[in-house]
Amino acid sequence: MTGYGQFCPVAKATEILGERWTLLILRELVNGTCRFSDFQRALSRISPPLLAKRLKHLEDRGVVLRKPISGRKGYEYRLTRAGKELEPLIVQLSTWGMRWARGQMTNDDLDVEFLMFDFQRRIRTGNLPDGETVLCFIFNDLEKFKSWWLIINGDEVDLCTDDHGRNVDLFISSDLRTMVEVWAGDLALSTAIRDERVGVTGSRHLIRGMKDWFGIAPRAHVRPAETGAES
- Do 57 and 38 form a contact (C-beta atoms < 8 A)? no
Residue 231 domain-assigned?
no
Beta bridge partners of 60: none
Which domain CATH number covers 167? 3.30.1050.10
Q: What is the distance, to the nearest Å, from the Cα of residue 93 to the centroid of all Cα atoms in its chain? A: 15
| Distance, CA of 119 to CA of 110 (rounded, Å) | 14
pLDDT of residue 124: 97
> Where in the sequence is the domain holding 202, given as residue range(s)?
107-213
Number of domains making up the chain: 2
Q: Do 119 and 198 fall into the same domain? A: yes
Which domain CATH number covers 33? 1.10.10.10
What pTM, to 2 d.p., does this model score?
Answer: 0.89
Q: Tell me the average pLDDT of the chain.
A: 94
Q: Do 69 and 112 fall into the same domain? A: no
pLDDT digits (tens, 9 = 90+) for 214-226: 999 999 999 988 7
pLDDT digits (tens, 9 = 90+) for 39-88: 999 999 999 999 999 999 999 999 999 999 888 888 999 999 999 999 99
Helix 176-184 vs helix 112-122: angle between axes, to the nearest 10 degrees? 40
Residue 228 has pLDDT above 70, yes or no: no
pLDDT of residue 112: 96
pLDDT of residue 211: 94
What dihedral do alpha carbons 222, 115, 158, 50 form, nearest 10°?
A: -110
Residue 93 domain-assigned?
yes
Task: Grade residue 208 by pLDDT with cuts at 50, 70 and 90.
Answer: very high
Domain endpoint, select from 66, 100, 134:
100
Residue 147 domain-assigned?
yes
| Distance, CA of 135 to CA of 149 (rounded, Å) | 6
Residue 226 domain-assigned?
no
Domain endpoint, select from 100, 135, 162:
100
Minimum mean pLDDT range among 64-68, 103-107, 130-134: 103-107
Q: Do 135 and 67 fall into the same domain? A: no
Residue 22 domain-assigned?
yes
Residue 143 has pLDDT above 60, yes or no: yes
Radius of gyration for the alpha carbons in the chain, expressed in angstroms and rounded: 20
Residue 136 has pLDDT above 60, yes or no: yes
pLDDT of residue 118: 96
Residue 228 domain-assigned?
no
Domain endpoint, select from 56, 83, 100:
100
- What integer is the mean pLDDT of 148-174? 95
Task: Grade residue 13 by pLDDT with cuts at 50, 70 and 90.
Answer: very high
Residue 220 domain-assigned?
no
pLDDT of residue 219: 94
Q: Do 83 and 127 fall into the same domain? A: no
